[in-house]
């Protein structure tokens, strides 16, 4: 299904039609690369957040969470290197005035070559691009674009400008009497949540009495003035990250990098989408802070793309914060170093980072679980769209449906609601035929529906209908809650 743009369009339409994702301020025609989550989308997003947060902060006893502010002291971004280095090389097409990120432009061409059967040319092109990017050789990159006759998708021409760097940070001003060019009052909307963790490293370490190795996790908004932003929620200007910085002894980074690669892959695989949906991609050009880095790529409808990054950040961030703030960012390690028989003593810890985009994870879940099924029989044409969400991520866990709006059935259904709604999200509906109600629940991914009918009044049983198999069983009312609870833990 990779690169199936019809499927991607169908998913985007479904997301809107069923209250998952809306374009931001749509009544004003939207705002490019900014989206709002609707009634079911916000539930799904929250469940993904909880799944990550709980596994990080509960499953690992040495990881704690924080919630830092979006605004940070401007020097943070000088120290982190974002003011000087958070740039993307861009190229403009002179005819269409369209701006492209150079790597995306070349990658799209490589993908075209690949789908046209020219695998080797595609691989060679990507390898040449990586080598040139690693050297920041912009003239070489422009030549590569020209030699490969890469054209603008809008104008269809190869009339390119030179390649230039653009900083991706948004800025605003603090205070009310400030003119926009007043550099002293300029603050940035954080482009990553990681720095909120680094500047709180000692606060958390001391107040939490944390011992190395330990981690600090955080979920929060990040902002990037992405130039190419046309891929629904894959690339947004306002998005959320789920990041964890793991503080370790210098020299142990290789071991911990491998450890976190494995742990994070396990986390993804536990959702049951299948091993073949993921792959690692090692970075050749390393970011300014890293000594090793890779992505976990997911098989999105637009092809295999980055879902999560795992970075060995060395002591780059803490060391720079120490230098810029003039405050020591050291840890005293009283563990005995077997080599010298004395404590390891003071050092600036090294860091392994795991960083996953919440919105990208949302898209991975939504796109993988979206299924159009043909249910036609010789007698009757039929189909359904079903979101086969893992039960623990589904926005709604249980629908309670009285078969009819009379004969005391709604009252029994209401009792089931009252019994279950304190434990998980339930939905009550009495309108339309039962078939239509099932299909609406399939379309938002509700794993269980129970129907209250006349037999219920006689023997206290209901029909439970399973979303994926569409099978129906008769179960005692007092088993409903336990069946759902067992599926969502
Ligand atoms: P890309 O190469 O796709 O721009 P990146 O390498 O710049 O991503 P990181 O800085 O490593 O991304 O950020 C960590 C994670 O944050 C990414 O793996 C991705 O899931 C998410 N992310 C980054 N930029 C965006 C964005 N513009 N919209 C949504 N999610 C994003």
Instruction: Count CB neighbours of 335 within 10 A.
Output: 11
How confident is the model at residue 325, as a pLDDT?
A: 97
Identify the residue whose C-alpha is closest to ligand 1 atom 31. Answer: 357
Identify the residue whose C-alpha is closest to ligand 1 atom 9. Answer: 309
**Ligand 1: does its nearest atom lie under 6 Å from the Cβ of 190?**
no
Strand order in the sheet with 238-248: 63-66, 214-223, 238-248, 350-357, 303-314, 292-300, 278-282
- pLDDT tens digits along 124-153: 999 999 889 878 899 999 999 999 999 999
How confident is the model at residue 287, as a pLDDT?
A: 78
Q: Are strands 63-66 and 214-223 parallel, antiparallel or unpaired?
A: parallel
Q: Are strands 164-167 and 170-173 parallel, antiparallel or unpaired?
A: unpaired
**Ligand 1: does its nearest atom lie under 6 Å from the Cβ of 313?**
no
Give the separation between CA 180 and CA 190, rounded to whole angstroms: 18
Give residue 223 CA to ligand 1 midpoint distance, Å: 10
Q: Which atom of ligand 1 is nearest the CA belonging to 355?
A: 14
Give residue 355 CA to ligand 1 midpoint distance, Å: 8
Q: Dihedral of the CA atoms 233, 237, 242, 245 (nearest 10)?
A: 140
**Ligand 1: does its nearest atom lie under 6 Å from the Cβ of 236?**
yes
**Ligand 1: does its nearest atom lie under 6 Å from the Cβ of 306?**
yes
- Name the residue among 479, 458, 463, 460 with its Cα closest to residue 399: 463
How confident is the model at residue 1, as a pLDDT?
A: 42
**Ligand 1: does its nearest atom lie under 6 Å from the Cβ of 241?**
yes
Q: Dihedral of the CA atoms 91, 94, 98, 100 (nearest 10)?
A: -10
Q: Classify residue 74 as exposed, middle or buried by CB count within 10 Å of its CB (0-12, 13-18, 19+).
A: middle
How confident is the model at residue 20, as a pLDDT?
A: 98
Give residue 357 CA to ligand 1 midpoint distance, Å: 6
Ordered structural domains, the chain, with CATH = 5-69+190-366 (3.30.930.10), 396-488 (3.40.50.800)
- Name the residue among 253, 259, 263, 264 with its Cα closest to residue 296: 264
Strand partners, 239: 222
Give the separation between CA 154 and CA 455, rounded to whole angstroms: 63
- pLDDT tens digits along 150-190: 999 999 999 999 999 888 999 999 886 555 555 667 899 99
**Whether the Cβ atoms of residue 165 and residue 36 lie closer than 8 Å to each other:** no
How confident is the model at residue 181, as a pLDDT?
A: 56
- Locate 125 and state its tokens: 């092109």
Identify the residue whose C-alpha is closest to ligand 1 atom 19. Answer: 357
How confident is the model at residue 135, as a pLDDT?
A: 84
**Ligand 1: does its nearest atom lie under 6 Å from the Cβ of 235?**
yes
Task: Give the angle 462-463-468 at the CA atoms, nearest 5°.
Answer: 145
How confident is the model at residue 88, as a pLDDT?
A: 84
How confident is the model at residue 306, as a pLDDT?
A: 96
What are the E-state strand segments in 159-230? 164-167, 170-173, 186-189, 214-223
- Name the residue among 451, 467, 299, 464 with its Cα closest to residue 390: 467
pTM of the model: 0.88
Based on C-alpha coordinates, what's the Rg of the chain? 26
Identify the residue whose C-alpha is closest to ligand 1 atom 8. Answer: 306
Q: How far is CA 52 from CA 194, 212, 354, in A?
A: 16, 22, 11
How confident is the model at residue 174, as a pLDDT?
A: 87
**Whether the Cβ atoms of residue 388 and residue 467 lie closer than 8 Å to each other:** yes
- Name the residue among 296, 299, 260 with its Cα closest to residue 276: 299
Strand partners, 311: 293, 353
Low-confidence ranges of the chain (pLDDT < 70): 1-3, 176-184, 228-229
How confident is the model at residue 179, as a pLDDT?
A: 53
**Whether the Cβ atoms of residue 106 and residue 144 lie closer than 8 Å to each other:** yes
**Ligand 1: does its nearest atom lie under 6 Å from the Cβ of 80?**
no
């Amino acid at each position: 299904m990779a690169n199936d743009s019809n499927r991607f369009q169908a998913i985007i339409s479904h997301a809107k039609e069923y209250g998952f994702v809306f374009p931001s301020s749509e009544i004003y025609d939207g705002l490019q690369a900014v989206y709002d989550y609707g009634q079911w989308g916000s539930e799904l997003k929250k469940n993904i957040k909880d799944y990550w947060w709980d596994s990080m902060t509960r499953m690992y006893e040495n990881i704690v969470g924080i919630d830092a502010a979006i605004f940070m002291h401007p020097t943070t971004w000088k120290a982190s290197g974002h003011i000087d280095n958070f740039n993307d090389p861009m190229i403009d097409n002179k005819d269409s005035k369209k701006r492209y990120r150079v790597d995306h432009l070349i990658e799209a061409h490589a993908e075209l070559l690949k789908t046209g059967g020219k695998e080797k040319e595609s691989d060679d092109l990507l390898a040449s691009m990586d080598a040139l990017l690693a050297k920041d050789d912009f003239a070489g990159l422009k030549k590569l674009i020209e030699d490969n006759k890469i054209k603008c998708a809008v104008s269809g021409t190869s009339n390119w400008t030179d390649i230039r760097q653009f900083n991706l940070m948004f800025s605003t001003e603090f205070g009310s009497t400030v003119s926009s060019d007043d550099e002293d009052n300029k603050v940035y909307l954080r482009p990553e949540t990681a720095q909120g963790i680094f500047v709180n490293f000692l606060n958390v370490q001391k107040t939490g009495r944390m011992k190395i190795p330990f981690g600090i996790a955080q979920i929060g908004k990040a902002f990037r003035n992405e130039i190419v932003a046309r891929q629904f929620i894959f690339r947004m200007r306002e998005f959320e990250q789920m990041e964890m910085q793991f503080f370790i002894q210098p020299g142990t980074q290789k071991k911990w990098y491998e450890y976190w690669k494995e742990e994070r892959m396990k986390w993804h695989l536990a959702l049951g989408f299948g091993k073949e949906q993921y792959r690692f991609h090692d970075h050749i050009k390393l970011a300014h802070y890293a000594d090793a880095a890779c992505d976990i790529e997911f098989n999105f409808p637009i092809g295999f793309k980055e879902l999560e990054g795992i970075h060995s950040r060395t002591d780059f961030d803490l060391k720079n914060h120490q230098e810029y703030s003039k405050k020591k960012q050291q840890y005293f390690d009283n563990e005995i170093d077997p080599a010298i028989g004395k404590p390891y003593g003071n050092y600036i810890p090294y860091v392994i980072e795991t960083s996953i985009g919440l919105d990208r994870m949302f898209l991975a879940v939504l796109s993988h679980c979206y299924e159009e099924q043909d249910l036609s029989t010789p007698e009757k044409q039929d189909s359904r769209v079903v979101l086969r969400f893992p039960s623990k991520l589904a926005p709604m866990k249980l629908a309670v449906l009285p078969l009819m709006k009379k004969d005391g059935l709604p009252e029994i259904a209401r009792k089931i609601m009252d019994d279950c709604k304190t434990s998980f999200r339930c939905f009550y509906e009495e309108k339309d035929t039962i078939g239509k109600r099932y299909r609406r629940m399939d379309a938002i991914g509700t794993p269980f529906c129970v129907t209250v009918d006349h037999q219920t009044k006689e023997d206290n049983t209901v029909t439970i209908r399973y979303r994926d198999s569409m099978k129906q069983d008769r179960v005692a009312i007092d088993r409903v809650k336990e069946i759902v609870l067992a599926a969502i833990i």
